[in-house]
Amino acid sequence: MRVLIVKTSSMGDVLHTLPALTDAMQAIPGIRFDWVVEEGFVQIPGWHPAVDRVIPVAIRRWRKAWFSSDIRAERETFRKLLTAVRYDAVIDAQGLVKSAALVTRLAQGIKHGMDWNSAREPLASLFYNRRHAVAKQQHAVERTRELFAKSLGYTRPSQTGDYAIAQHFLADTQNQPPYLVFLHATTRDDKHWQEAQWRELIHLMAGTGLKIKLPWGAPHEEARALRLAEGFDNVEVLPRLSLEQVANVLAGARGVVSVDTGLSHLTAALDRPNITLYGPTDPGLIGGYGKNQFICRPVDSSSLAALAAADVFAKLRPLIDGVAPASENSHV
Give the C-alpha distances (Å, rounded to integers) separating 247 from 244, 264, 271. Answer: 5, 11, 11
Note the pLDDT of residue 282: 79
Note the pLDDT of residue 173: 55
CATH fold, domain 166-320, is: Rossmann fold (3.40.50)
Note the pLDDT of residue 330: 44
Note the pLDDT of residue 286: 86
Q: Is the pLDDT of residue 329 over 60?
A: no
**pLDDT band at 324, cuts 50/70/90?**
low
**pLDDT band at 320, cuts 50/70/90?**
confident
Return the DSSP state at 108. B
| Model pLDDT for residues 59-98, shown as the tens digit of each residue | 999 999 999 999 999 999 999 999 999 999 999 999 999 9
Domain map (residue ranges) of the chain: 2-152, 166-320
CB-based burial, 112-140: b 16+ in 10 Å, e otherwise: bbbeeebbeeeebbebbeebbebeeeebb
Q: Is 2 exposed, middle or buried (0-12, 13-18, 19+ CB in 10 A)?
A: middle
| Model pLDDT for residues 277-299, shown as the tens digit of each residue | 998 887 888 889 998 899 999 88
**153 φ/ψ angles, rounded to the nearest 5 degrees:** 85, 40
Question: Could you check whether 2-152 and 166-320 share the same CATH topology?
Answer: yes
The H or E element that residue 18 is part of is: helix 11-27
Q: Give the span between the Cα atoms of 302 and 280, in whole angstroms.
A: 5
**pLDDT band at 331, cuts 50/70/90?**
very low
Closest CA to 52 of 32, 37, 30, 38: 32
Q: Give the span between the Cα atoms of 251 and 272, in whole angstroms.
A: 7
| Model pLDDT for residues 38-66, shown as the tens digit of each residue | 999 999 999 999 999 999 999 999 999 99
Residues 6 or more apart in contact with residue 58 via CB below 8 angstroms: 38, 39, 74, 78
Which CATH class for the 2-152 domain? Answer: alpha beta
